[in-house]
C-alpha cells in the first residue's frame, strides 16, 4: 500500500526552490527571498498553530528559526536594505545586516555619575516591586533595546509608568495569541499570561486576569510565547509560574521551551 501526499501549489513551489537553492554553489539572495515569500504563503494557508510542526517535518533547509530568517528576507520593508548589499552576499550576512539596520538607535544612558546600579536579579529580595525587576531585566538582557511591546498590560504592574524603563513601551490591547504586528517590529516583548486554570466565578484572579480551562491553558501560553518571539527582534520576557494544581505539577516553563525550541537564559 502506498500513501500519496498531495502538496498545495505553494508547497510544490517551495520544494522546487529549496532543491535549486541547495544545489547552487553560491546561495543566491534573490532565491532566498523567493523561498521566504513562499514560506509566508504557506504560513498564511496553515496558520501559526500548524506552520511550526509543518516546517520541522517538511522544510529541507533547517528548522523553524531558519525558516523565520528566510521569511524575514522576504518582508517588503526590508527590500531597500537588501538592495544595498554587495552582489553575492550570503543569506547569513543579509540577515545580520537586517538586524543591524533595526538596531542603530540604541537607548541613551544617563551620565555615569547619575546611574543607578542594578542589583543581580537572583539576589533581589522577595518584596522587590515588579517594575524594578522588569526594568533590571531589560537593562541586563536587552541593553540595546529602544522599544518594547507589553502584550498583557493588565493593571500595568510591569511599570511604575509606561516609560520607567529605558525603552519606549507600546501597550497592546489585542489577543496576545494573534498580534496584528509584523515580525521583529519591536526590540523586546513582554508576556504575562494567566497562570492558573479553572478559576472560580468569584475568584479575584479571574476578575483581574481572566482564566482558561486546564485543557486550554498550555496551548494559550504557547501561542502567546510564539507571538512574543515573532514580534521581538532581540528577545522576550515571559512570566510563568510552575505550580501544583489539582494535585498535579504544572510545569509551565516546559511549555515555553516547547513553544520556542529555545533554552531561556534564566
Q: So what's the pLDDT on residue 188?
A: 92
Q: Choose the CATH number for 112-260 among 3.40.50, 2.50.20, 3.30.1490, 1.10.8.
A: 3.40.50
How long, in residues, is the chain? 266
- pLDDT tens digits, 216-255: 888 888 999 999 999 999 899 999 888 787 777 878 888 8
Pairing of strands 243-245, 232-238: unpaired
Q: Can you tell me which residue has the cell 554553489? A: 25
- Whether 112 shows a pLDDT value over 60: the answer reads no
What's the rounded mean pLDDT across residues 61-69?
79
Q: Quick one: pLDDT band at residue 115, thresholds 50, 70, 90?
A: very low
What's the rounded mean pLDDT across residues 59-67?
80
Whether residue 133 contacts residue 154, with contact meaning beta carbons closer than 8 Å, is answered with no
The CA distance from 151 to 185, in Å, is 13
Cβ neighbours, 10 Å, residue 229: 22
Task: Give the CA dihedral 42, 46, 50, 53, nearest 10 degrees.
Answer: -20
Which grid cell sits at 32?
Answer: 532566498
Residue ranges per domain, the chain?
9-102, 112-260
Interacting residues of 19 by C-beta distance below 8 A, sequence separation 6+? 60
Whether residue 95 contacts residue 89, with contact meaning beta carbons closer than 8 Å, is answered with no
Amino acid at each position: 500500500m502506498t500513501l500519496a501526499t498531495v502538496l498545495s501549489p505553494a508547497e510544490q513551489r517551495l520544494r522546487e526552490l529549496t532543491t535549486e537553492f541547495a544545489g547552487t554553489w553560491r546561495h543566491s539572495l534573490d532565491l532566498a527571498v523567493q523561498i521566504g515569500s513562499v514560506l509566508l504563503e504557506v504560513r498564511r494557508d496553515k496558520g501559526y498553530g500548524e506552520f511550526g510542526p509543518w516546517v520541522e517535518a517538511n522544510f529541507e533547509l533547517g528548522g523553524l528559526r531558519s525558516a523565520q530568517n528566510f521569511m524575514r528576507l522576504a518582508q517588503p520593508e526590508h527590500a531597500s536594505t537588501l538592495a544595498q548589499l554587495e552582489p553575492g552576499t550570503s543569506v547569513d550576512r543579509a540577515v545580520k545586516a537586517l538586524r543591524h539596520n533595526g538596531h542603530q538607535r540604541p537607548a541613551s544612558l544617563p551620565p555615569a555619575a547619575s546611574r543607578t546600579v542594578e542589583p543581580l536579579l537572583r539576589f533581589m529580595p522577595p518584596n522587590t516591586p515588579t517594575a524594578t525587576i522588569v526594568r533590571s531585566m531589560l537593562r541586563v538582557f536587552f541593553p540595546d533595546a529602544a522599544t518594547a511591546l507589553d502584550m498583557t498590560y493588565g493593571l500595568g504592574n510591569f511599570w511604575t509608568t509606561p516609560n520607567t524603563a529605558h525603552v519606549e513601551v507600546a501597550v497592546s490591547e489585542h489577543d496576545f495569541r494573534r498580534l496584528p504586528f509584523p515580525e521583529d517590529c519591536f526590540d523586546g516583548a513582554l508576556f504575562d499570561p494567566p497562570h492558573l486554570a479553572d478559576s472560580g466565578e468569584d475568584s479575584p484572579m479571574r476578575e483581574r486576569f481572566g482564566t482558561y480551562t486546564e485543557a486550554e491553558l498550555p496551548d494559550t501560553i504557547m501561542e502567546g510565547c510564539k507571538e512574543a518571539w515573532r514580534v521581538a527582534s532581540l528577545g522576550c520576557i515571559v512570566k510563568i509560574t510552575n505550580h501544583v494544581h489539582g494535585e498535579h505539577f504544572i510545569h509551565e516553563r516546559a511549555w515555553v521551551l516547547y513553544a520556542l525550541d529555545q533554552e531561556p537564559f534564566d
